[in-house]
Amino acid sequence: MPASPSTARAINDRLALRLLQQEGPLTAGQLKQLTGLSRPSVADLVERLAAAGLIDVVGESGEQRRGPNAKLYGIVADQAHLAALDVRTEGVSVVVSDLLGGVLAEASVPIGGDTGTGPAVEQAVALVERAAKEAGVPELHTVGIGAPGLIDPATGELRDSGGLPAWHRRLVLALQERLPDTRVHVENETNLAALAEQREGVARDRDTFVLLWLGHGTGAAVVLEGTLRRGASGGTGEIGFLPVPGTAGLPSAVDCEGGFHSLAGSAAIVALAERHGLTVEARGYEPPAASVVREAVASAAAGAATAAGAGTTAVTGVMAGAATGAVAGAATDFLDALADRLAVGVAAVVAILDPGCLVLAGEVGQAGGADLAARVERRVRRMSPLPTEVRVSALGGGAVLRGALLTARERAQDELFAPLQGRGAPPGHAAPPRGRDQLPPARR
C-alpha cells in the first residue's frame, strides 16, 4: 500500500534532516541529488523545514554565489543545547554543545573517595550548571551520562552496584530534579566508548567488533551487525568477572577479584610492572597503569633503536646502550607478560563471538598503542583459529564523553526532527526514531 502524501512528506523531511546532519550544509540541488526527489518536492520540504525553524540559509555555494540554487541550507544549531557527562569514581567531566555537536564549553571536577554522597552530587550538578552558564546556554534540552556499572534494560536506570560510589546513582536523580525540563539519559561508559569508536573512531568500517576497555578497571562492549548488545540483564561485557587462569581464586557475584579484572585492572598491571623492576608514577587522575605502560612502550622502542646500532660507536655510547638495553629488556618482558594476560581474555571473547576485530580502548589501551595491540594480536592468532584484528582506540580516554554527546545529540534530534502535527505525518504515522541500541551502518 503506497504511503499517504502526509506520510511521504514526513519521510522526506526526516531524510533531508539526516542528510544535513551527516553531510553538513547543502544546496537544494545537492538535496535533490542525494534524496532522489524532484525539484518541486525538494523546494516544498525546504520551505516546510525552514518554516518550522529547523533549517535556515547558512551561506552560499558556487562560483557565481547568486540565485536560489546557490543557497546553502543547514540545521539551526542553536535550537537546542546538549550536555554530556563522563562520570568516574574519581570525578566528573562535562561538555556542553549545540545541536550539531559543536562544543561550547568543557569542564571537570575531581571528587575524592572520602567525599560524602550529598556533597559529591552537588559538586557534579554545579559543574553542569557552571558549564552551561559559561556556554551562554539558558536551558539544556538533553543530557547524556556515561557511568560505570549496569544499566537496567527495562528502566534505563543505573543499577545499584556495591563497588561503585553511591553518588553515581543519586546524580541522575539530582539532575532530573534540578533540570526538570531536560531529558536525562544514562548509559554504561564502555558501551558509549564503542558507539564513539564506531561512529568517529577506529571501528568506522566495522559492523561487528568488540571494544575492550582498560582503565582503572576492565569492561567490554559488544557490537554485532551494527547493534550494541546488552544482554538480558544489561550485563553484556562485564568481562572483569570472566574466570581466567592465573588468578588466586574465582570471582563472586559481588566481587570481580579473581576474574579477568585481577589480571588486567590497573592495580594488577602496576603490580606486574613492579615485579619486572619498572618504576610506577601516578600522573593526575589517569590510571597508574597507563603511565607505566606508556613508558614501557617508549623504553622498548628505544632499546630496539639501540640494538640496531644507534649510539654505540663510542665507549660512552656503549655504556649508554647497555643501560638502555637493560631497561628496554625489562620493559619488553613486562609488555610481553601483559599481552599474555590480555590475550587470555580476548581469546575467550573471540571463541564465543568471533567479532573479527577487537579495539583496545581506555587510558591503558591507548597508552599501549600499536605495540601492545600487535603483541596481543600475535598471541590471539596462536590461541584461536578465528582471525581477529586488534586495533588501538582512536579516541582514547575521551571516547566515553564523545559517546555520551553523540547519544544526547541523536536523542534530541529524534525528538526535534519528529514530524509536527499539521506539518508532516499525523500522530502514529511518524517514522520511528532509531533505537538506542542501533548503530548506523559501518562506512566502508
User: Tens of pLDDT along 381-391?
Assistant: 999 999 999 99
Query: Does the pLDDT at position 314 exceed 80?
Result: no
Task: State the average pLDDT over residues 73-81.
Answer: 93
CB 160 within 8 A of CB 151: no
Buried b (16+ CB within 10 A) or exposed e, 8-22: ebbbbbbbbbeebbe
**What Cα–Cα distance (Å) separates residue 149 from each residue in 188, 197, 230, 343?**
6, 20, 12, 24
pLDDT value, residue 213: 96
Query: Does the pLDDT at position 38 exceed 50?
Result: yes
Q: Which of 17-21, 45-49, 93-97 has the lowest mean pLDDT?
A: 17-21
Give 134-173 pLDDT, tens digit per residue. Answer: 999 999 999 999 998 888 877 777 876 656 788 888 898 9
- DSSP annotation of 160 reads P
Residues whose CB is less than 8 angstroms from the CB of residue 377 and which lie 6 or more positions away in sequence, other chains included: 388, 389, 390
Give 385-441 pLDDT, tens digit per residue. Answer: 999 999 999 998 889 999 999 999 999 988 888 764 444 333 333 333 444 455 544
* 84: enclosing H helix or E strand: strand 81-88
Task: Give me 70's grid cell.
Answer: 546557490
CB 60 within 8 A of CB 71: yes
pLDDT value, residue 36: 92
pLDDT value, residue 161: 64
Task: State the average pLDDT over residues 313-319.
Answer: 43
CA 120 to CA 114: how far, in whole Å? 9
pLDDT value, residue 104: 96
Query: Does the pLDDT at position 306 exceed 80?
Result: no
Task: Give me 47's grid cell.
Answer: 520551505
pTM for this predicted structure: 0.85
Task: State the average pLDDT over residues 345-368.
Answer: 96
CA 157 to CA 426: how far, in whole Å? 31
SS3 389: strand
pLDDT: is 154 or 115 the higher one? 115
pLDDT value, residue 424: 38
55-60 and 71-75 as β-strands: parallel, antiparallel, unpaired?
antiparallel
Q: What is the 3-state secondary structure (H, E, C) of 219-277?
A: EEEEEECCEEECCCCCCCCCHHHCECCCCCCCCECCECCCECHHHHCHHHHHHHHHHCC
Among residues 233, 182, 211, which one has the least CA distance to residue 411? 182
Q: Work out the burial of residue 325: count CB atoms within 10 Å of its CB; fewer than 13 is exposed, 13-18 middle, 19 or more buried.
A: middle
CA 378 to CA 359: how far, in whole Å? 15
Residues whose CB is less than 8 angstroms from the CB of residue 207 and which lie 6 or more positions away in sequence, other chains included: 223, 225, 226, 441, 442
pLDDT value, residue 184: 94
Query: Does the pLDDT at position 197 exceed 90?
Result: yes
Task: Give me 400's grid cell.
Answer: 566515553
Confidence of residue 9 (pLDDT cuts 50, 70, 90): confident
Task: Give me 226's grid cell.
Answer: 551494527
pLDDT value, residue 425: 34
| Percent of the chain whose predicted confidence (pLDDT) is above 70 | 87
pLDDT value, residue 65: 53
Query: Does the pLDDT at position 319 exceed 50?
Result: no
How high does pLDDT run on average in the chain? 86
Q: Which of 101-110, 218-227, 322-331 has the lowest mean pLDDT?
A: 322-331
Phi-psi region of 92 (alpha: psi -120 to 50; beta: other; left: phi over 0): beta
